[in-house]
Chains A and B, each alone.
Chain A
Amino acid sequence: MSEDLRRSTPTQDQQPGGRRAVPEPLVEVRNLDVDFRTGGGSVHAVRGANLTIYPGQSVAIVGESGSGKSTTAHAIIGLLPGSGRVTGGSITFGGRELVGLRRRELERLRGSEIGLVPQDPMSNLNPVWRIGFQVKEALTANHLDVTREQRQRLEDGLVAESSPRDDDELFLGSASKPALLTDIRGALEDSGVSGTSLDEQMKRWDETLDVGSVTRSEVRRRLLAAKISGAEQIALGHVTGSTVNDRVAGLLTEAGLPDSARRARQYPHEFSGGMRQRALIAIGLAGRPKLLIADEITSALDVTVQRRILDHLEGLTRQLGTTVLLITHDLGLAAERAEHLVVMYKGRVVESGPALDILQHPEHPYTKRLVASAPSLVSQRIQSTKHAAVRTGTPASGVGAPGVGAAQGTAELADHRPLIEVSHLTRRFDIRGSKEPLLAVDDVSFEVRRGTTLALVGESGSGKSTVANMVLRLLEPTKGSILFDGRDALALRKAELLHFRRRVQPVFQNPYGSLDPQYSIYRALVEPMRIHHVGNRASREKRARELLDMVQLPASTLRRYPNELSGGQRQRIAIARALALDPEVIVCDEAVSALDVLVQSQILTLLNDLQAEFGLTYLFITHDLAVVRQIADEVVVMQHGRIVEHSSTDEVFAHPQQAYTRELIEAIPGGSLHIGGAGAPTEPSGTAS
């Protein structure tokens, strides 16, 4: 990646953000109304929203799903989905009204003036075209392909002959790079550099002069800075424009994709999520838009990848002078990445202002709740107000965390015996077409004590879900043993296994996929009881009502179907179903990852309360350390199928032993921010208990 991609834009010399005297806003949204027509009338997705973005500023819209944040962003770029229509208000961009603009005019605006980096990297690239083709399209659509550059060069040939302008569009081409390097080498040799020092310097030049990314003026500036003789001539002679493929490679390099020329020939399915997101960033920035809309660009990615991509995007847009509109549900991330926050709730803008102001002095009740429950900002384990019957005094929760008073009295009653003992667990997968088997889980050992929560943390591919599936007896281990309550869980057959399933229940990540859409909630809840022959019709129905009560849903929910419920409600149903058989252990595989922050915090509180009340044991699988801090007593960090760190939650956060763990902790968005006092939430989490 080149150090500096500075291209002068009008916004560059203006100080972003704070300056009061900036006269012309880049984007001004006034009283925006957006409706979606549905079968039974219209849904008002956005109502009277106001938003002002100044050039060079970074603004974030924060809100839960359904708050209208993405709809507002899509209205700006004129890409409202389906039946969405702007029904009132105005959107101006650089003083120009966008509402009611004709399709052709919008097409001209998109890409070159307003860019979009969309949400889900998995579905946002066309699977049948090569990455390079899709980036190239973004260039050609905005007439930034080579022919245009050549035409322009012919038109103002005189300018090209004189010293290069600062904003020239002549990029280094792959064909002329070897000659450029040879000349640099020659100049260096002339000035007396030789041996390893020469090789090292040449290596650096080779790595930093990115084809299709550095411009003539940039090369000249760098050569001059390195005091290379004849810098002017070398730059003029060898940076004579690039092919469109060079530009594609250059854009991908800028977006942080190594080996981009080769990568450009690959298809999206050959890319990981993070790489796809980088390709999408390259596409979004290809037309050098003045405004870039980044719509939840990292919510589908692992935390560490998330951090790297956001860091990169931040640096890149700052160098290019691009104004950024971030859309996110994560308050911590928004506060860390944007100067100005706009909080949306149910289609309305409820609060807006400088990021830190909002974080420290939230005024609207919704913002207050959001600040209180932002997982990245909450620094300790949620304490249940219910009587902690079996709360064990593990070192993790016993020391340091306030509010364990309730538990201390019963600490001696606590059962210290481990309920689940996993030792030397290994799982190999044979990959078709490859001789090398994949070691998904490699010699993993840990214990889960009764009544406590053990969090298994790692990125995708770390093997954590494989461990969960083996503990659930849904997958056979290749080697190793699992003891459940002192008995060999792997030896269980038929009736015993059925009994085991009754005691160990799962809650999965996707609340949309884990409930059968054909089953009413009642049927979903009584199904486990039917299978295990528990009770009769009447007692099962009574139990179903109890379960709904436990997860704080009204009894009327029984007659409803999953598609009538929100994601949070469905996850409550999934928990209720897991509780139906009075299990001792619940394995939560990313159980809150798909949920909005507020809902997430409610579910975590619920899980905590249920643990306190029934002495449940949780094996909690997650990639999000922020969640771990709120629920877990012990943490096992996994990487590449192995355990890299195992310790109490407080210990892991206070003194992480491994570099990988530190990286995970640092990747928590907003982790470095301090609100009000000493980084603790200003009030106990305002969730129901």
Chain B
Amino acid sequence: MGRYIGRRVLQAIPVLLGSTLLIYALVFALPGDPVTAMFGDRPVNPVVANQIRAEYNLDKPFIVQYLLFLKGVFTLNFGNTFSGQPVVNIIATAFPVTIRLAIMAFIIEAVFGILIGTISGLRRGSWFDSVSLVLSLALIAVPTFVFGFVLQFLLGVKLHWLPPTAGASPTFQSLLLPALVLASVSLAYVIRLTRTSVSSNLSADHVRTARAKGLTERRVIGVHVLRNSLIPVVTFLGGDLGALMGGAVVTERIFNVNGIGNALYQAILRGEGTTVVSIVTLLVLIFIISNLVVDLLYAVLDPRIRYV
């Protein structure tokens, strides 16, 4: 186990280096000169421009810039934005919002997904099953921004049930709508995954053995069907938590949530390479960690999995 984790952490190093290098190169290759853009319509003062370039290392070759950035990362110094604000501050304000949003979305998809999926799987072919299948198909088929705008318009603008946007300091209620939209697609997948898993487990041989012991139906379902059925679902959910933490650019834009996704979007717009790469590095880290946790969780759920 310890050796396995050690190996996975070592494997994460090339992933992290490779992905940041890639992102850095992409940002570097972005057309347009951010320093020129800073002057807007005014004429560029070459002295000031060169000074800014020197300050942000923009005058050095690409690979040197990258290595300097890496050095900063190791000392937890992500550098400053062009407006002089430390990148760490941006992350520190945006990340808590994203975490709240992600947890809310995660709870929605886990609770409702497993509940609806289990009932569908147990009553395969019933009206409940058919309705949940059609609805989940619709959720998967309709793009998130369409679903987002529709909900925003209906529940927020027309019915005034929930605030249509989140704003600067979002409350629980104002995050409910974005969380629902963010959860929707995964919710549909969780429903379908749980349903298939439950219904295939229902006809498993070991479930018949459990019944033959004289166990009550309740216990057969709870101990022998659900526990086994949830293994793939939990694995999916674990991976999804990482994805949710990474923020949702589209959803955060629609509902004006000042989360990490929105911050990333703004940084790309302004061509702030340092901010973009810093945020992406963080996201890559989150993904690596959440994937490792999922893999370890898998071994807890399924004793057949052993790590060597």
Contacts and interface: CB of A to CB of B under 8 A. Distances in A.
A79 B208 CA distance: 7
Interface string A80-114: 01100000000000000000000110011111100
A204 to B, nearest CB: 34
Interface string A275-288: 00000100110110
Interface string A47-71: 0000000000000000000000000
Interface string B221-236: 0011001100100000
B227 A128 contact: yes
Contact of B214 (A109, A118, A124): A109
B203 to A, nearest CB: 7
Contacts of A283: 209, 213
- By secondary structure, the B interface counts as helix
Greatest chain A CB density within 10 A among B204, B206, B217, B227 is at: B206
Given A124-B208, A126-B228, A128-B228, A142 B214 contact: yes
Contacts, number: 90
Given A107-B217, A267-B304, A433-B308, A125 B212 contact: no
A518 interface: no
Contact of A116 (B206, B209, B215, B223): B209
A77 B214 CA distance: 10
A128 B302 contact: yes
Nearest to B214: A111
A81 B203 contact: yes
Given A267-B303, A269-B304, A432-B308, A124 B216 contact: no
A103 B208 CA distance: 14
A20 to B, nearest CB: 33
Contacts of B228: 126-128
B212 A103 contact: no
A102 to B, nearest CB: 11
A116 B231 CA distance: 28
A124 B206 contact: yes
Given A126-B228, A128-B301, A432-B308, A77 B212 contact: yes
B172 to A, nearest CB: 36
A128 to B, nearest CB: 6
Interface string A414-453: 0000000000000000001100000000000000000000
Interface string B190-219: 000000000000011111111111111101
B217 to A, nearest CB: 6
B75 to A, nearest CB: 39
A78 B216 CA distance: 13
Given A118-B209, A432-B308, A126 B224 contact: yes
B214 A141 contact: yes
Contact of B213 (A127, A141, A432): A141
B213 A138 contact: yes
B212 A79 contact: yes
A115 interface: yes
Contacts of A77: 212
B215 A126 contact: no
- From B203, B204, B215, B308, name the one whose CB has the most chain A CB atoms within 10 angstroms: B215
A120 interface: yes
Nearest to B303: A267
Nearest to A115: B212
A269 B303 contact: yes
A519 B303 CA distance: 37
Contacts of B304: 127, 267, 269
Contacts of B224: 126
Given A108-B214, A287-B214, A433-B308, A124 B205 contact: yes
A124 B203 CA distance: 11
A137 interface: yes
Interface in B269-308: 301-304, 308
A196 interface: no
Contacts of A129: 223, 227
Given A126-B224, A128-B231, A128-B301, A110 B205 contact: no
A287 B213 contact: yes
Contacts of B213: 110-111, 137-138, 141-142, 283, 286-287
Contacts of A109: 214
Most buried by A among B223, B227, B231: B223
A536 interface: no
Contacts of B303: 127-128, 267, 269
A123 B204 contact: yes
Pick the most buried of B204, B209, B215, B217: most chain A CB atoms within 10 A of its CB.
B209
B215 A118 contact: no
A9 to B, nearest CB: 18
B53 to A, nearest CB: 54
A103 B217 CA distance: 8
A290 to B, nearest CB: 13
Most buried by B among A108, A119, A126: A126
A425 B228 CA distance: 43
Contacts of B301: 128
Nearest to B207: A126
Contacts of A128: 227-228, 231, 301-303
B66 to A, nearest CB: 38
A82 B210 contact: no
A627 B127 CA distance: 52
Contacts of A125: 206, 209
B200 to A, nearest CB: 12
B210 A137 contact: yes
Given A107-B211, A124-B208, A127-B228, 15 more contacts: A79-B208, A79-B211, A107-B214, A111-B213, A116-B212, A118-B205, A118-B209, A123-B205, A126-B210, A126-B224, A128-B301, A128-B303, A137-B223, A138-B213, A283-B209
Question: 6 tightest A-B contacts by CB?
Answer: A111-B214, A116-B212, A110-B214, A123-B205, A138-B213, A126-B206
7 contacts: A79-B211, A103-B217, A120-B205, A125-B206, A128-B227, A128-B231, A141-B216
